[in-house]
Chain A
Amino acid sequence: MARVVVDVMPKPEILDPQGQAVANALPRLGFDGITAVRQGKHFELEVADDVDDATLAKIAETFLANPVIEDWIVRRVEA
């Protein structure tokens, strides 16, 4: 078994109102110096050893992310 991380982020040109709301809250909470926040999704998959990279990319592209509005990255990490 391996752990695979898939990070999904809104594309840069897509408005991210949630990230903006977080960014706007930070100064109110006394945290200065944060100029921008973008909010995405982080998936952790426990993956059998025979699942290849092409399959993982297909999972990310067709299901975990919507490529119309989101970018995705697949990483294998040490469990």
Chain B
Amino acid sequence: MRVGVITFPGTLDDVDAQRAVKYADGEAVPLWHGDHDLKGVDAVVVPGGFSYGDYLRCGAIARFAPVMQEVIEAANKGMPVLGICNGFQILAEAHLLPGALVRNHKLHFVCRDQWLSVENNTTAWTSRYDLEAEILVPLKSGEGGYQADEDTLKELEDNNRVVFRYVGENPNGSRNNIAGITNAKGNVVGLMPHPEHAIDALTGPTDDGLGMFLSLLDTVVKA
């Protein structure tokens, strides 16, 4: 399994994302924002951070990076793509996922270990989880409030496209406590919390996040 991990100027979590891929027995392939090809990878992780300094809007400039044109094309053909935090914002700006992420409702940057409920275990990235399993992974974002219009929310809810929901108090004002969603095919997933920081109890709150990368392994092996 070869998994591309994109680095934009301002990306922070590419190294941890690469480490998570290796923990799942994958080969992490660094991709640079200026690359025009995906080097034959089986899947792509768009990691967290502050691509292009979050200028204009989070993800708004990264979406137009050369490598993202390749990611968009590959995702539309079914390649598994995971966007974490800023990566989720980038996938939303790129219209691979609906809705948008806005400033947290209480304006504070939230940094804490966050319980999530697994709402959909049929995506390319969540098959290893039990349905409604609760997992604990770090959440660290200032603009994590998920917003979408009523029609989009209904579409997401009616078609089981909410992948993760916050458990307990809503940390950022996200509509319907949404922490992560998927596209209609289930190959593209975006979430604000950070599974790549929770792959080993030595360095994270749990190893609950590793399941996403092991799920990908299953997806790629089956493909």
What is A's interface to B at a CB cutoff of 8 Å? 10, 13-15, 17-18, 21, 63-64, 66, 68-69
Q: How large is the interface on B (under 10, 10 to 19, 20 to 34, 35 or more residues)?
A: 20 to 34
For A14, list chain B residues within 8 Å (CB): 102, 147
Question: Are A68 and B107 in touch, CB under 8 angstroms?
Answer: no
Q: Mark B145-179, 1 if CB is under 8 A from A, else 0.
A: 10111000000000000000000000001000000
Q: Complex: how many Å from CA A18 to CA B104?
A: 10
Q: Complex: how many Å from CA A21 to CA B172?
A: 16
Question: Are B107 and A66 in touch, CB under 8 angstroms?
Answer: no
Q: Told that A15-B173, A17-B105 touch, could you supply 15 new A-B pairs with CB distance under 8 A?
A: A10-B102, A14-B102, A14-B147, A15-B102, A15-B105, A15-B147, A18-B103, A64-B56, A66-B60, A66-B93, A66-B100, A68-B92, A68-B100, A69-B102, A69-B147
Q: Mark B44-71, 1 if CB is under 8 A from A, else 0.
A: 0000000000001100100010000000
For B222, list chain A residues within 8 Å (CB): none
Chain B interface SS verdict (over half): loop
8 A Cβ contacts from B91-136 to A:
92-93, 98-100, 102-107
**Contact partner of B148 among A18, A63, A68, CB < 8 A?**
A68
For A66, list chain B residues within 8 Å (CB): 57, 60, 93, 100
| 8 interchain residue pairs of minimum CB distance | A68-B100, A69-B100, A17-B107, A17-B105, A66-B100, A69-B147, A17-B103, A66-B57
**Contact partner of A17 among B60, B106, B148, CB < 8 A?**
B106
Question: Are B107 and A21 in touch, CB under 8 angstroms?
Answer: yes
Determine the residue in chain A with the shortest Cβ distance to B61. A63
For B60, list chain A residues within 8 Å (CB): 63, 66
Q: Complex: how many Å from CA A74 to CA B62?
A: 24
Determine the residue in chain B with the shortest Cβ distance to A69. B100
Question: Are A15 and B145 in touch, CB under 8 angstroms?
Answer: yes
A18-B100 contact in complex given A66-B57, A66-B60, C-beta closer than 8 Å: no
Question: Are B99 and A68 in touch, CB under 8 angstroms?
Answer: yes
Interchain residue pairs with CB less than 8 A apart (16): A13-B149, A15-B102, A15-B105, A15-B147, A15-B173, A17-B103, A17-B104, A17-B105, A17-B107, A18-B107, A21-B107, A63-B56, A66-B93, A68-B92, A68-B147, A69-B100
Q: Complex: how many Å from CA A17 to CA B102?
A: 10
For B100, list chain A residues within 8 Å (CB): 66, 68-69
For A64, list chain B residues within 8 Å (CB): 56
Q: How far is the CB of B210 from chain A (nearest CB, A)?
A: 32
Q: Mark B68-102, 1 if CB is under 8 A from A, else 0.
A: 00000000000000000000000011000011101
Q: How far is the CB of B98 from chain A (nearest CB, A)?
A: 8
For B93, list chain A residues within 8 Å (CB): 66
For A10, list chain B residues within 8 Å (CB): 102
Determine the residue in chain A with the shortest Cβ distance to B148. A68
